[in-house]
């Protein structure tokens, strides 16, 4: 049950759309005649968003989408000069950083926006979880969102290797070894990722293909479904507000909510520009597979909590390999995370589900705690 205000009064969408289109001439009319944009424009005009004290969390979804767009644009620009290959990858990134006009800026923005996007995605996912935005009928929105989260982690993992520097090489080695600990299929997955038993130029080619072709296709597919579902179902009102049956103000998406969202995007853009110019993403030293692993090597911050979890597991758990048990546990936890809407039946029925709220907060505290521990250890 949703509570809505009616300000301002809505017209018949189709009539409105036709009216708007008929008022326009030239290109707009020409396009409307061929594509029938009227209903779409009407939908956008009619679209509204709940406005309440938790509304701020809504902006993280849009911000993630904005940063993803930045990723796509800067990624395409980098593709003009990047050359995958054990003997050319590092040199081409070096060329981008040193010789290409504003290449340093494009690469730094690509790297920084990747990190900001993952950070924003974490906030978006957990805010949706705690506001119980996954409850019926938005189960599929949650499922596609979590799958997108995994895809984004895949982007982070595969993209990290592409500069082919020393840190990336050893981080990939450790990361793929973790994948190798999966029971039964672990070795096959490891060989599939690496293209052999070791991290080599073949691995780089595979990660490149994954990063610029396979993952983008999957991401665009999932993102389309995710956005379509949001358009169809609208944005959910937090369960706590819905239960109070208090009136909830609804803002028109255009221009009220969109302008607010635009402010968030500009803030992200300002942060990106400042980070890229003041702290350009380092290139490191070229990968040398024969060199010893750098001391204190750690994965990127968004994998640190997983790494830290596996690192402190005992070698044997109930007689089984500790790493294998850890990887299995993480996989099961991820699988359960996808199916949260189907497990939290109380929330779907419009009732409070404190157990799931506790799970959410525990996961947040665990991730933050382990990440900080891993960072300072």
Partner 1 sequence: MRTNGTTISILFTVSLAAAAPRSNAQDGQATAQKTPETSCVRCHKEIAEDLGPQVAEWETSVHAAVGLSCNDCHGGDPTADDMLKAKRKDAGYVGAPKKRAEVGPFCARCHSDIEYMRRFNPSMRVDQLTEYLTSRHGKAVHQEGSDKAATCTDCHGKHAILRVSDPRSSVSAAHVAETCARCHADAARMATAKLPTDIYEKWKGSVHGQRLAGGDLSAPTCNDCHGNHGAMPPGVRDVVHVCGRCHVTQEEHFTAGSHRAPFEKLGKAPCITCHSNHDIQHASDALLASQPPGVCGKCHKPDDVCDRAAKNMLGGIVRLTSGMKETEDVLGRAEQFGMDVSEPRFRLSDVRDRLTMARVVVHRFNEKEFADVLAEGEKTLTGIRKQGDAALDEWEFRRKGLAFSLILIVAVIVLLALKVRSLERARRNAQARAPEGAASVRTAS
Name the residues that contact partner 1, by CB under 8 A.
Answer: 1-9, 94, 97-98, 104-105, 247, 251, 255-256, 259-260, 262-263, 266-267, 269-270, 273-274, 277-280, 282-283
When the beta carbons of 274 and 291 are compared against partner 1, the nearer one is 274
163 and 90 Cβ atoms separated by less than 8 Å: yes
When the beta carbons of 254 and 337 are compared against partner 1, the nearer one is 254
When the beta carbons of 258 and 329 are compared against partner 1, the nearer one is 258
In sequence order, what are the residues at sequence separation of 6 or more whose Cβ sits closer than 8 angstroms to the Cβ of residue 226? 141, 144, 145, 148
Nearest approach, Cβ of residue 286 and partner 1 (Å): 10
Nearest approach, Cβ of residue 276 and partner 1 (Å): 8
When the beta carbons of 213 and 277 are compared against partner 1, the nearer one is 277
Which two structure tokens, joined as six digits, stand for 175? 């990361």
When the beta carbons of 1 and 295 are compared against partner 1, the nearer one is 1
In sequence order, what are the residues at sequence separation of 6 or more whose Cβ sits closer than 8 angstroms to the Cβ of residue 357? 130
| Residue-wise burial string across 312-339, b where 16 or more C-beta atoms lie within 10 A, e elsewhere | ebeeeeeeeebbbbbbeeeeeeeeebbe
Nearest approach, Cβ of residue 248 and partner 1 (Å): 8
Q: DSSP secondary structure string, 28-94?
A: HHHHHHHH--HHHHHHHHH-EEEESTTGGGGHHHHHHHHHHHHHHHHHHHHHTT---STTTHHHHHH
When the beta carbons of 79 and 267 are compared against partner 1, the nearer one is 267
Task: Give the Å distances, CA to CA, from 331 to 10, 324, 370.
Answer: 47, 11, 18
- Residue 377 has a CB neighbour count (10 Å cut-off) of 12
Among candidate residues 105, 51, 23, the one with its CA nearest the CA of residue 278:
105
Task: Give the Å distances, CA to CA, from 338 to 124, 141, 193, 367, 368.
Answer: 15, 11, 24, 17, 21
When the beta carbons of 89 and 148 are compared against partner 1, the nearer one is 89
When the beta carbons of 192 and 263 are compared against partner 1, the nearer one is 263
When the beta carbons of 8 and 354 are compared against partner 1, the nearer one is 8
Nearest approach, Cβ of residue 220 and partner 1 (Å): 28
Determine the Cα–Cα distance for residues 256 and 263; give it in Å rounded to an integer.
11
Determine the Cα–Cα distance for residues 149 and 120; give it in Å rounded to an integer.
11
Nearest approach, Cβ of residue 136 and partner 1 (Å): 14
Three-state DSSP at 320 gives: strand
Which two structure tokens, joined as six digits, stand for 82? 């990047």
Nearest approach, Cβ of residue 111 and partner 1 (Å): 12
Could you tell me the sign of the dihedral formed by the alpha carbons of 190, 303, 342, 324, in that order?
positive
Nearest approach, Cβ of residue 251 and partner 1 (Å): 8
207 and 161 Cβ atoms separated by less than 8 Å: yes
Which two structure tokens, joined as six digits, stand for 11? 């017209």
When the beta carbons of 263 and 320 are compared against partner 1, the nearer one is 263
Nearest approach, Cβ of residue 18 and partner 1 (Å): 24
Nearest approach, Cβ of residue 278 and partner 1 (Å): 7
Nearest approach, Cβ of residue 98 and partner 1 (Å): 4
């Amino acid at each position: 049950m949703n509570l809505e205000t009616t300000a301002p009064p809505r017209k018949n969408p189709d009539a409105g759309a036709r009216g708007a289109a008929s008022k326009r001439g030239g290109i707009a009319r020409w396009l409307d005649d061929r594509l029938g944009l009227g209903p779409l424009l009407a939908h956008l005009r009619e679209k509204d968003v709940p406005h309440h004290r938790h509304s701020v969390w809504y902006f993280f979804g849009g911000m993630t989408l904005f940063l993803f767009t930045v990723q796509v644009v800067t990624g395409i620009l980098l593709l003009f000069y990047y050359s995958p290959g054990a003997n050319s990858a590092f040199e081409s990134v070096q060329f981008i950083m040193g010789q290409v006009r504003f290449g340093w800026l494009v690469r730094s923005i690509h790297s920084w926006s990747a990190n900001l996007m993952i950070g924003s995605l974490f906030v978006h996912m957990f805010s949706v979880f705690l506001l119980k935005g996954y409850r019926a009928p938005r189960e599929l929105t949650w499922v596609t969102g979590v799958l997108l989260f995994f895809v984004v982690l895949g982007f982070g993992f595969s993209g990290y290797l592409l500069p082919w520097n020393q840190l990336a090489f050893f981080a990939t080695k450790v990361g793929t070894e973790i994948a190798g600990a999966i029971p039964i299929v672990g070795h096959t997955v490891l060989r599939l990722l690496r293209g052999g038993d070791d991290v080599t130029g073949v691995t780089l080619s595979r990660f490149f293909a994954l990063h610029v072709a396979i993952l983008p296709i999957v991401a665009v597919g999932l993102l389309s479904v995710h956005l379509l579902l949001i358009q169809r179902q609208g944005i959910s009102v937090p369960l706590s507000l819905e239960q109070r049956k208090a009136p909830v103000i609804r803002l028109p998406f255009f221009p009220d909510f969109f302008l607010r969202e635009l402010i968030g995007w500009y803030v992200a853009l300002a942060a990106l520009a400042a980070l890229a110019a003041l702290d350009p993403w380092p290139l490191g030293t070229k990968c040398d597979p024969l060199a010893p692993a750098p001391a204190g090597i750690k994965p990127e911050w968004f994998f640190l909590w997983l790494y830290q979890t596996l690192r402190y597991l005992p070698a044997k758990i109930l007689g089984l390999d500790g790493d294998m048990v850890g990887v299995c546990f993480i996989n099961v936890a991820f699988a359960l995370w996808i199916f949260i809407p189907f497990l939290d039946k109380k929330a779907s029925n419009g009732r409070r589900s404190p157990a799931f709220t506790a799970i959410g907060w525990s996961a947040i505290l665990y991730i933050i705690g382990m990440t900080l521990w891993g960072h300072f250890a």
